Amino acid sequence: MRPGGPLEGSVPISGAKNSVLKLMAATTLAEGGYVLHNVPRILDVDWMGDLLTSMGMVVTPAGEGSLHIDHRPDLRPEAPYELVERMRASIVVMGPLLARYGRARVAMPGGDDFGPRPIDMHLRALEDLGATFEVAHGYIEARADHLVGARLLLEFPSVGATENALMAAVLAKGTTVIDNAAREPEIADLAAFLTRMGAQIEGAGSPTITIEGVDELNPVEHTVIPDRIEAATFLAAVGIAGGEVTLQGARADHMDMLIQKLGEMGMRISPDTDGIWAFAPRRLRSADVSTLPYPGLATDYKPLLVALLATADGVGIVTENLFSGRFRYIDELVRMGADIRTEGHHAVVRGRPLLSGAPVRAPDIRAGAALVVAALKAEGETEVFDAHHIDRGYDRFVDKLRSLGADVSSA
C-alpha cells in the first residue's frame, strides 16, 4: 500500500457476510434445493459451505454470485471442531438442526481476539424452547424431542442468539416471542428468507419478534442484502483519502447512524439511484464515537472510525460497548505513527495530518481492513501481514480499491 487519493469512481457492494452465513445455516431446516443470489466471494462462505458439506449437503456455484445448496435426506446434524474453531458463526446451525432433527452435536466455539465470547444466551433461549444440553469432550450435545413455543427474554440483544432462537422457533409448536431481540438488518433478511420458506414471523427488525411455529418448510430462492460493513469500509477509505465515490447497491437506510456520524465529521453522503453517493474533503473533523447494538453505531465500524480519527483534525474519544477486547489493532496503528491511548474500553485518538507507512499485522477481518484504509494516508509503503483475515469478509477488496484509484496490491 502507498498513500493515494482522492478516490474517484463507483464500486459494487457485495452481499452481506453476516446475512449469507445465517441463510446458509437456515437451509438445514428443510430438504431440497435452494438458490442464493448476491453471494459474496469470501472465505467465510467457503467455510460455511464446508460445514454444510460435512453434514451431507451439496453446495455448488450456480453462476456469477449465486450458490446452489442441496439439502439431501439423512443429514448428519454435527458441526466438528476443526470447522467451528475457524469460524464462530458456525454456532448458528444449532437452532435449525435442533428444530429439524431433534438433536445437534456442535463443537464449543472458542474465544477470539475480541476476548471471551460466551454463548450462554443461545443456550438459554433454546432451553426455554425445550432443548436439553450436555457438554462433553469439547462438544455441546443438544436434544429436543419437540420444541415448544415460549417467551424468550434476551439479556442483551445478541445477533447470534436471536438468529439461533428464530431458526428454532419456526418449527416449534405454538407461539414464540423473542423480547429484547437484535434488530440488525441481517436479522430482517433471515426472517424474510424463513418467511419465503413458509415460516410465520412478525416484528423482525424490532425489539420484539413473534413466531407462529409451522409443521413444514420448503426450499427457496433468495437474494442476499448488501453488506453494510463493506460499504462502511469504502466510506472510510474515501473519508481518509478524500474524493467522491458511488457505492453501487449499498443501502443507506441500513447505515443511518454511521452516515450521520460521518456527516458530523465533514463528509457529504446521500442515497442515490445506484446506491450511496459520498464526498469527502481532504481532511475530516474529529468526533466522539460509541458503539451500540443496531440501530446504534456498529462495533464492526469502529476499527474503521479509529483509522479515520487517527488522521482527522482534533481529538476523538472512542467507547466500545460490545466487545471489551476489541482494541488489539491499536498497537498496529500506533506503529504507523497514530497518537492513540487506550484505557479499559475507551480510546483517545489525537488526529495527525499524516501517518507513516510501516509493516503491520491484521488481527481480524475489520481491523485488517482498517489498517489498509489507514495506509491511504500514510507516507511511504505499508505492508499488511496476515491479510488472509481480510479475505474472510471482503470480496475482491484490493481490486475494488484499485478501481477507485488507490495504490494497493496484494502479494
Interface contacts to ligand EPZ, rule CB under 6 A = 17-18, 21, 89, 117-122, 156, 158-161, 182, 229, 298-300, 322-323, 365-366, 393
Distance in Å, CB of 374 to ligand EPZ, minimum: 17
Minimum Å distance from CB 20 to ligand EPZ? 10
Task: Give dist(CA 282, CA 243) in Å, integer.
Answer: 8
Catalytic annotation present for 112 = yes
| DSSP, res 109 | P
CA dihedral 33, 36, 40, 42 (to 10 degrees): -20
CB of 62 to ligand EPZ, least distance (A): 23
* DSSP symbols for 69-95: EEE-SS---EE-HHHHTT-GGGGGGHH
Q: How many whole angstroms separate alpha carbon 107 and alpha carbon 91?
A: 8
CB-wise, 33 or 325, nearer to ligand EPZ? 325
Report the relative pairing of strands 346-350 and 355-356 from DSSP bridges: unpaired
Nearer to ligand EPZ by Cβ, of 112 and 264: the residue is: 112
* Annotated active-site residue in 46, 50, 70, 112: 112
Which residue's C-beta sits nearest to ligand EPZ? 160
Query: In Å, how far from its chain's centre is CA 394?
Result: 11
Residue 383's φ and ψ, nearest 5 degrees, are -120, 120
Helix and strand numbers (H, E) in the chain are 14, 24
Give 204's strand partners. 206
Q: Which residues contact 331 (CB under 8 A, 6 or more apart)?
A: none
Q: Which residue has the cell 467465510?
A: 44
Q: In this complex, which beta carbon is closest to ligand EPZ, that of residue 158 or of residue 210?
A: 158
Nearer to ligand EPZ, 91 or 358 (CB): 91
Q: Give 222 or 366: the residue with its C-beta nearer to ligand EPZ.
A: 366
Q: Which residue, 21 or 147, has its beta carbon nearer to ligand EPZ?
A: 21
Question: Beta 243-248 vs 208-212: how paired, if at all?
Answer: unpaired
What is the closest distance, in whole angstroms, from the C-beta atom of residue 59 to ligand EPZ in the complex? 18
How far out from the chain centre does Cα 190 lie? 13
DSSP 276-298: EEEEE-SSPBP--EEB-STTSB-
> The C-alpha cell of 407 is what?
495504490
Question: Do residues 408 and 402 make contact, with C-beta atoms less than 8 angstroms apart?
Answer: yes
Contact at 8 Å (CB) between 55 and 28? yes
Q: How far is the CB of 109 from ligand EPZ (least distance, A)?
A: 9
Smallest gap from residue 115 Cβ to ligand EPZ (A): 8
Which residues are the active-site residues?
112
